[in-house]
Amino acid sequence: MRMTEETRLPQPDLATVEIGTVLQALADPVRLQIVRLLDTAGEAPCGALELPVGRSTVSHHLRTLRESGLVETHLRGNTRVSRIRREELERRFPGLLASILGAAPAARGGTAADDEEGER
Amino acid sequence: MRMTEETRLPQPDLATVEIGTVLQALADPVRLQIVRLLDTAGEAPCGALELPVGRSTVSHHLRTLRESGLVETHLRGNTRVSRIRREELERRFPGLLASILGAAPAARGGTAADDEEGER
DNA sequence: ATAGAGGTTCGATGTGTATCGTAGATGTCG
DNA sequence: CGACATCTACGATACACATCGAACCTCTAT
């Protein structure tokens, strides 16, 4: 019964993480959504994340986020609580997280990337 | 002989571009390198970009960058000059470009994302 | 007009990876 | 101990896309 003891899952030193790795991790829609959820929730167990994919897929994405240095995960009893590595990320990539999480949603047809100039 | 006349290739309104689209565009190493080159060079014709991939591939990446709102391309005579949409990007995603282009390279084994905690 | 340089488009190929279901590992409770 | 919960690991599958070479297009120069 050592509930206060928290074991942290292995994670990389942010100094060894390239910006490209972070961008690649955030490029996936599900992972970006996970980061958004963790941003508003502060921290959350893996199962509490409401996502349109299966449990094993969420687990896989959390692993990717952890290995890219974005998220840390603690073993708290039976559950695994994940959280964004805010301070460390801010030191390594100043302003990055704020600019991404603070981005306003697109006006109309965002992802489509449809070109135009005369608004047919 | 209208050399001063510049035609701009079709590009999306940045208001309709999601942050996820931008991140996805920057997730590719070659595209990130293109953006870095354009950042330092200010502007450049497609062929002047020194990259470890073929011409057609560069063309494809520039198209992706243009469709995701990161780059604008002008037809100047025979060549196509590309440039980063700095001001517009800064208005749409404040601080994003600066935090990405200003990121320092990793210390040692960046992309590998090898976990550790005791420095075996 | 003819040739040439600069870029794009097209089809094909190969690799990476997001996804799922099931089985296994670990911890909690009765 | 045995039942149940949470989550991860493992194959297997399918789709997205980075890449290339060749053909094509559009200007410029001769």
pLDDT tens per residue, range A40-63 = 999 999 999 999 999 999 999 999
Give me B53's structure tokens.
Answer: 């991939």
Q: Name the minimum distance, in Å, from the CA of A94 to any CA of chain B.
A: 6
Alpha-carbon distance B7 to A71, whole Å? 45
pLDDT of A6: 72
Mean pLDDT of A6-12: 90
Mutual angle of helices B29-41 and B19-26, in 10-degree steps: 90
Chain A CB contacts of B27 below 8 Å: 20, 23-24, 26-27
Nearest to B6 by CA among B72, B60, B66, B55: B72
**φ, ψ dihedrals at B77, nearest 5°:** 60, -120
Give me B94's structure tokens.
Answer: 């404040």
pLDDT of B90: 98
**pLDDT above 70 (res A115):** no
Are the beta carbons of A47 and A82 closer than 8 angstroms?
no
Alpha-carbon distance B16 to B90, whole Å? 15
Alpha-carbon distance B106 to A19, whole Å? 8
In tens, the pLDDT along A82-104 reads 999 999 999 999 999 999 999 99
The ranges of chain B with pLDDT < 70 are 1-5, 109-120
pLDDT of B108: 74
Q: Name the minimum distance, in Å, from the CA of B115 to any CA of chain A.
A: 5
On average, the pLDDT of chain A sits at: 89
Mean pLDDT of A27-44: 97
Residue of B nearest to A105 (CA): B18
With bands split at pLDDT 50, 70 and 90, how would you rate the model's confidence at A114? Answer: very low
